[in-house]
Every structure is written in C-alpha cells, then in structure tokens.
Structure 1
Amino acid sequence: MPFWEAQPTLTAVQWLARVSVLYLYLLILTKIMGQREIGRLTLFDFIISIIIGSTVAGALNSSTNGLKGVFITVAALAGFQIILSIASLKFSRFRRVIEEEPIILVQNGKLLGEAMKKTRINLDDLMSLLRQKNYFNLSQVEFAILEPNGKLSVIPKSQNRPVTPSDLNIATNYEGYPVMVIEDGNIIQDNLKRNHLTEQWLRDQLRKNNIRSHTEVFAAMLDTQGRLYFSLKNDASERTAS
C-alpha cells in the first residue's frame, strides 16, 4: 500500500517518504502563510500552530493515520490563519480583537500599579527588563511600554538620553545598507548588478590588495560609499580595500 494511506505497519523507506512529504508540505504552507517572528505570534497564530503540530505528529507517530486527512486539516487551518491575517491588516477593530495592544507600565516617571497587575509583571521583572536596556534606576525612565511581543520599549528622560550628532549640530554622511558581494568564496552576482558593478571590477579590487582569487575570501561587503571590506579565510582580521 502507498505510504500516504493508513495501514498497520510501514517500512523504513515508507516512513522516510512520509516524513519527507510532510516536511516539504509544511515548508510550503509556512512560506504561503508568511514569515513572522516567534515573539510576534498572536494568540490565534499560537493556537493554530499547536493544532497543526498535533495533527502532523499523529501521522508521524502512527502508521494507522493516513495523510489525506492531515493534508486537508492543515490546509484548512493555514487558510483560516491567512484570512485572519488579511482581515487584521484591513480592519483595525478586528486587529484589536485578535492582537494584544501595548501597555504602559511607567508613565511620566511613575509606576502604574494597575497596568503591572494586569500584565502580571512584578517590580523585579520590570527592573530586570530595564537593566537589559541599560537603565538601572527608575528615575532615568520617562515611559516604559510592554509591547505585544513581550519586549519592553523605554523612553528615557531627556537628560538621560545618549548624545547624538544632531544634538551637537554635527553633520553626518548617509550610510545606507551594506551588501555582501562575496560569501564563503562565492561571488554574489545579483548584489554586484544592483550596485552597477561587474565581476571584473571586483577582481581588480582584490588584485590591488594582493588577493589572487575570490575563493580566498570568506566574506566581502560593499558600503554605500563604495568601500570594500573583506575577511580572508585564513586571516582572522578584517581589511578595507585600498
């Protein structure tokens, strides 16, 4: 009998085939459902994840459970989750129903006891979260907000904020986002094309720095100023192209 049908026993090859098919099926569905950090899962996401895991586990734990029912159940749950996600994007009222809202724990430098009771966070927990943000005294904090993902956002009092170039009226250059052009000895052609550069240009830059081949380079990054930083496979230090 085929491995996807319910039967008393499965051979090792059939078990391997069943595991592989379920893994690929879940991988495809996860891509369709969209990427989301574990900490950003809503209550509905969490419930659906548990049900999907339990459903798939049944097919992997017992050969008497066929895959047809698993495929239909998991697809239905994934579709339900996608519908909920789309609805939460379009309708703010619906989003407030299925997603938690940020809760202010410290306001204008004062602890909000009722908010702490609601979130079941005691003073020790709050101080621990503040220390992780490098604030060791409540007197430094203007606002502390517990985000839906469980992380704490802190707005310090103005006199405790780090000095920035704008505070000192210092002009800064645009930095942008650096891109990787060599990774583990392989040239990333797409990133070169996005920056209107050629492979020959990259090879010339390497030769100027006495690097014979791109295969010697573990990583090379290009910043928005056109500067190339690279690290060789047999050299722990980083260098900037001259």
Structure 2
Amino acid sequence: MIFGLHEETLTWWQMSARAIGVFFAALFIIRIGSHRIFGKNTAFDIILGIIYGSVLSRAITGNSPFWPTLAAAFTLVMLHKALAVIAYHSNFGFGNMIKGQSQLLVKDGKIQEKEMRANSVTRNDLLEALRSSGSATELDRIKEAYLERSGSISIILKKDKE
C-alpha cells in the first residue's frame, strides 16, 4: 500500500515513498556495481548512467511495475560490471572496443591534423587544454597531447632541455 504496488494511479505520498525506496535501492545497486560508473565519463559509463536513470524514473512514476523495474536496473549495473571485467582481462582489444582508446593529437610540437580532424578537435581546444595545464601557452612546448577516452585532452610537456 505504501508504494502503491497494486494501484492504477499513485498518490503524491506513494510516489514520494517510491522515490525514497528507489533512491536507496539505486544506491545499493551502484555500490554492488562499481563506483567508477559515474566517476569516469567514457561513453561506456555515460550510456549506463542515462539508461539507469531512465529505468529508475519509471519505478518512481509508476509507469512500470516497481520490483521488475528495480531488477532491470540491477541487471544493467551487473552487465556494466561484467563488461568492465571482461574488458580488463581481454587481450584482443575488447576493452578498446567497449571503452575506446586515446588518440594522439600532437607529437613533438607538431599537430597531427588527421587525428584532430577525425576527432573534431580544434587548435583552440588544444590551447585551452594547454592553458588548463598551467604550464605553457605555446603548442611547440608540447611533447605529446592525447584526446583521452573520457573526452578530455591530456598534455605532456617537453622538458626544458628538449
């Protein structure tokens, strides 16, 4: 009765009770899964976050049955965890297929135009990443720059004597 499990329409307090229940169930499910689901923003992780939120919202609003919806959310998190474990132990590129791989954008101060174009990264994007690193403002100071799987740009500067 509290969750309105057998009701056609939900009252405000039943929906509120469902929201509280879903919150704690979601917290429990994520803790069983992996904290990195929302810690690193690869496409692999973002997709789960979007679907997970969508599925759980249906449990709150009563658009789907309460317990089966929580079971579906749990299944999604376990799928994410299983794929992450397989990717970790994979020797045949499964991890790169699921999570992506970094792309070299600058090598020894020279922009890799083909990679920049393929990844829609502009010179201004590189300059922004360089400024964010707080170390230099000229592209020729970059030893290597990578577009990481998360979409961020990491920069390795040349040593002073290079």
Cα distance in 1, alignment partners of residues 39 and 138 from structure 2: 27
Summarize deviations over 1:90-114 as a string: whole Å, max 9, x none.
1142111101111111102211000
Which amino acid is 1:149 matched to?
Answer: S
Q: Is the 8 A contact 1:89 1:95 kept in 2?
A: yes
Structure showing greater Rg: 1
Q: Does residue 45 of structure 1 match 2:45?
A: yes
Q: Is the 8 A contact 1:9 1:64 kept in 2?
A: no
The residue number in structure 2 matching 1:147 is: 148
Q: Is the 8 A contact 2:107 2:143 kept in 1?
A: yes
Q: Is the 8 A contact 1:3 1:18 kept in 2?
A: yes
In structure 2, the CA distance between the partners of 1:122 and 1:160, relative to structure 1 (3 Å rule), is: farther
Cα distance in 1, alignment partners of residues 15 and 161 from structure 2: 60
Equivalent residue runs for 1:117-128 within 5 Å: 117-128=117-128
Q: Is the 8 A contact 2:105 2:111 kept in 1?
A: yes
Equivalent residue runs for 1:167-186 within 5 Å: none
Which amino acid is 2:152 matched to?
Answer: K
Cα distance in 2, alignment partners of residues 57 and 7 from structure 1: 17
Q: Is the 8 A contact 1:4 1:68 kept in 2?
A: no
Equivalent residue runs for 1:95-114 within 5 Å: 95-114=95-114
Cα distance in 2, alignment partners of residues 42 and 151 from structure 1: 10
In structure 2, the CA distance between the partners of 1:152 and 1:144, relative to structure 1 (3 Å rule), is: same
Q: Is the 8 A contact 1:55 1:70 kept in 2?
A: yes
The residue number in structure 2 matching 1:10 is: 10
Q: Is the 8 A contact 1:142 1:155 kept in 2?
A: yes
Mark the runs of 5 or more structure 1 residues left unpaired by the alignment.
162-242
Give the total of aligned pairs: 160
Q: Is the 8 A contact 1:43 1:99 kept in 2?
A: yes
What is the aligned-residue identity percentage? 26
The secondary structure found in structure 1 opposite 2:95 is helix
Which amino acid is 2:87 matched to?
Answer: S
The residue number in structure 2 matching 1:171 is: none
Equivalent residue runs for 1:202-221 within 5 Å: none
Q: Is the 8 A contact 1:59 1:67 kept in 2?
A: yes
Q: Which moved more, 1:65-74 or 1:40-49?
A: 40-49
1:117 CA displacement = 0.8
The secondary structure found in structure 1 opposite 2:36 is coil
Q: Is the 8 A contact 1:40 1:148 kept in 2?
A: no
Q: Does residue 73 of structure 1 match 2:83?
A: no
TM-score of the aligned structures, taking structure 2 as reference length: 0.86
1:41 CA displacement = 3.2
1:87 CA displacement = 0.6
The secondary structure found in structure 2 opposite 1:36 is helix
Q: Which has the higher strand share?
A: 1
The secondary structure found in structure 2 opposite 1:154 is strand
TM-score of the aligned structures, taking structure 1 as reference length: 0.60
Mark the runs of 5 or more structure 2 residues left unpaired by the alignment.
none
**Greater RCO (Cα-Cα under 8 Å, separation 6 or more):** 2
Summarize deviations over 1:97-143 as a string: whole Å, max 9, x none.
10111111110221100010111001111111111112211121121
The secondary structure found in structure 2 opposite 1:40 is coil
Q: Which has the higher helix share?
A: 2
Cα distance in 2, alignment partners of residues 141 and 133 from structure 1: 11
